[in-house]
Chain A
């Protein structure tokens, strides 16, 4: 009688353990901390721990300097972030913030932080570089040659 009770207890314990192990293997897996896309370069513009904590302050500081004083250093510019931390989508182009794989979204989705930067700002690198007034920056398309011809005509006129 006593022996039988022991067997019953042991069976219950074994069953519970089996259930726990099975649950751990097949049950819902809790997501770990997010793994945002690594940048292209060797290292980030500041130590990773610092960037995790203070990137918003850095961006805000830079934004005021850029907009009001025309200081366009790349170090803490939003544009510069995406030049390194871009994630290629199915079409090979860097994904926009509409994609959950986007560099900013990986963490912000996890932390339930909704940023409104991208209502105005582009969330992926542009396809063309900033043009600086030089006509030679135009893509070498057939359409450009007509423009260059017109420019040369104009330059010829200006010389006379």
Chain B
């Protein structure tokens, strides 16, 4: 027996207020020039918004190198906030292991800061959305490092095995856990060939408002879905670019003009355990 549920009419004032917030996000994604950085912390958000609005046209007209550095996110074409994600897009990552510097863990740190993941107390069991992997060739001792996280598969084994439907693949290719439905059985952790999922064993406090996490649920890399939905890029990609290594690129694999799609089409890329047929959305170079 289901009750008919109708939302009340939205009055204009509220619509304008809500629209304003979304507008701010859309403009934020336009990546204004670096001089906007040096604002006073007091009311920086509002001042930043006004400045961002002022430079919006310029940025859209001349996206050039700045946008390329972050993976060709075109804010002008960002999905409206009230529209569902569609399978016309496929978000993916391209990671060049040759550019990944051994000993650098900027991506791991940035992931923790962004999503509120504390430094591990119990390294074996604490949450880990992204980790760096040191690969050694036992025959000659050659080593390289690469970051590994949820590979956002087209055929995700974690989704196949989930008994409640909590583990799911969004239409745009991002594989997520719906914590409202997750019962914490950890079947997905066993099914994932990439060891990309973690279980939260202890109560958490002071989570980020945009990244809810809690005890008793399985979790994994969300490709910073809150940033992607706002037209941004994952925190790891941004951090990697800031170090100057720029080993990671984020973008739409289906968009032929995107940096990631062009690179995947141009260079020989590898996907981890491609033989399993999971069709990951994370591509690697030089591994």
Let me know if B141 is at the binding interface, CB within 8 A. no
Name A110-160 residues within 8 Å CB distance of B.
Answer: 119-122, 124-126, 129-140, 144-145, 147-148, 150-155, 157-159
- Option from A72, A138, A159 in Cβ contact (under 8 Å) with B65: A159
Pick 5 A–B contacts, CB within 8 A, sort by A.
Answer: A71-B83, A73-B81, A75-B18, A135-B31, A136-B48
Question: How far, in angstroms, from A144 to B242 measured CA to CA in the complex?
Answer: 10
Contacts between the two chains (Cβ within 8 Å), count = 171
B interface, CB within 8 angstroms of A: 5, 7-8, 10-11, 13-14, 17-18, 21-22, 25, 28-34, 36-41, 44-45, 48, 52, 65-66, 68-70, 73, 79, 81-85, 114, 168, 170-172, 176, 178-180, 203-204, 206-210, 212-217, 225-227, 229-233, 235, 238, 241-244, 246
Flag if B242 contacts A150 (CB, 8 Å).
yes
Instruction: State how many residues of chain A have any CB contact under 8 Å with chain B.
Output: 58
- Option from A47, A70, A126 in Cβ contact (under 8 Å) with B170: A70
Chain A's closest residue to B229 (CB) is: A70
Question: How far, in angstroms, from A50 to B22 measured CA to CA in the complex?
Answer: 25
Per CB-CB distance, the 8 closest pairs between chain A and chain B, nearest first, are A133-B232, A120-B214, A132-B232, A69-B84, A133-B233, A120-B212, A70-B85, A122-B209
Most interface-central of B18, B207, B209, B227 (chain A CB within 10 A): B209
Name A79-98 residues within 8 Å CB distance of B.
Answer: 79, 82, 96
Instruction: Assess A132 versus B69: contact at CB under 8 Å? Given A70-B170, A73-B81, A137-B28.
Output: no
Question: How far, in angstroms, from A125 to B45 measured CA to CA in the complex?
Answer: 14
Chain A's closest residue to B238 (CB) is: A133
List the A side residues contacting B36 at CB < 8 Å. Answer: 136
Flag if B29 contacts A130 (CB, 8 Å).
no
